[in-house]
Amino acid sequence: MRKSLALQAELTQEFGACVFDVTLDCEDGAPTGAEQAHAEQVVELVRATAGIDKPASDATRPRVAVRVHPVDHPAFQSDIATIAAGVGHLLCHIMIPKVESVADVAHAVQALAMVAPQGPAQALPLHVLVESPAAVHRAFEIAAHPRVQSISFGLMDFVSAHAGAIPVDGMSGQGQFSHPLVVRAKLEIASACHAHGKTPSHCVVTEFRDASAIETAARTASREMGFTRMWSIHPDQIRPILSAFAPRASDIAVAAEIIDRAQAAHWAPIDFQGQLHDRASYRLFWHVLERAFRTGQALPEAARRHFDAKLQ
């Protein structure tokens, strides 16, 4: 956890913005029987690194989240009580794993309300992990919940839930993009999120020593499957993921020019290099600029001023 936070600070300084979240893990990270002690350690780490001296609009403020235990785990309530009450106001979100239905989301919302009835923690966004075939089936319902900000796909649990019907290759960097059941699950989650304005987050790639595997997977997830975020499990995966999810320099330049011309035309249709663009495509190009900004890419001055004004 400390290494992850140190890497976040290093890349924030390099890019001039916090370009990835760190999620401190209380589910798989806590030794059995020491869940409470681990949660208390997480609280101390958040307090030490959460950037309380920086306003929420500061692009360099550390983005720190916590993954608690599933709602049916004996440690769930104590996780929420310790973490939300202690540092909920410093977190960017709470991750709820193994969500099976909207009822699980409602359970988490109620638990937060009990320990933090007022203040920022009460409105803390929830990111949820969908990890079973039944949960994938309910992805649209889960994404529709107002407190859900993002859905992540839990690849390894999803494959295991099929009791051998999906071979182990379905967990690999290549197999997860070719097995029909896995691909279908990813597309359902991405579609559900986009239908409700939420963020789809792609699963891990376990081959953390294979740079080409992670780069290929990240590019496929971003450009072919509609995911706008992705999990990493090793520091070496961070840069390839950022590179794959960031817009290309040529795309940024085109988007900046089109938005600049559109604004000058008061958002009426324009002719750009022989192609018609109007408000429908303006939205797309604005998202390109926004994604470039969030991933620390260089923006033309005309585009940069939009985000400078936003941060003031």
Residues paired with residue 277 on neighbouring β-strands, in sequence order? 270
- Mark whether 9 and 131 lie in a shared domain: yes
Residues 17 and 82 in one domain: yes
User: Could you say which of 245, 263, 290 is where a domain stops?
Assistant: 245
> How far is the C-alpha of 193 from the C-alpha of 185, rounded, in Å?
12
Instruction: Identify whether residues 24 and 69 lie together within a single domain.
Output: yes
Say if residues 115 and 85 touch (Cβ distance below 8 Å). Answer: yes
Asked if residue 188 and residue 70 are part of one domain, the reply reads yes
What's the pLDDT at 119? Answer: 67
Residue that finishes a domain, picked among 245, 262, 292: 245
Identity at 266, one-letter amino acid code: H
Given this model, what pLDDT does residue 310 score? 53
For residues 132 and 162, give the distance between their C-alpha atoms in angstroms, rounded to a whole number: 8
In this structure, what token pair is assigned to residue 168?
A: 């182990």
Q: Which two tokens stand for residue 109?
A: 């919302």
The answer to whether residues 253 and 234 belong to one domain is: no
Residues 138, 120 share a domain: yes
Residues 98-151: tens digit of each pLDDT: 999 999 999 999 999 988 766 666 789 999 999 999 999 999 999 999 999 999
- Total domains, the chain: 2
Instruction: Answer whether 173's CB lies under 8 Å from 206's CB.
Output: yes
Task: Give Cα separations from 227 to 43, 201, 241 (angstroms).
Answer: 30, 6, 12
| Residue 51 pLDDT | 65
Same domain flag for 123 and 238: yes
- Render pLDDT for 53-76 as a digit per residue (tens, 0 to 9): 677 667 788 999 999 999 999 999
Q: Which domain holds residue 303?
A: 249-311
Query: What is the four-CA torsion angle of 67, 69, 71, 72, rounded to 10 degrees?
Result: 160
Digit-coded pLDDT (tens) for 235-275: 889 999 988 898 999 999 999 999 999 999 999 999 999 99
* CA-CA-CA-CA torsion sign (242, 247, 250, 253): negative
Q: Are 12 and 86 members of one domain?
A: yes
CATH number of the domain enclosing 39 = 3.20.20.60
**Which tokens in the block code for residue 271?**
């002719």
The pTM assigned to this predicted structure is 0.89
Which amino acid is located at 21 in the chain?
Answer: D
The reply to whether 224 and 279 lie within a common domain is: no
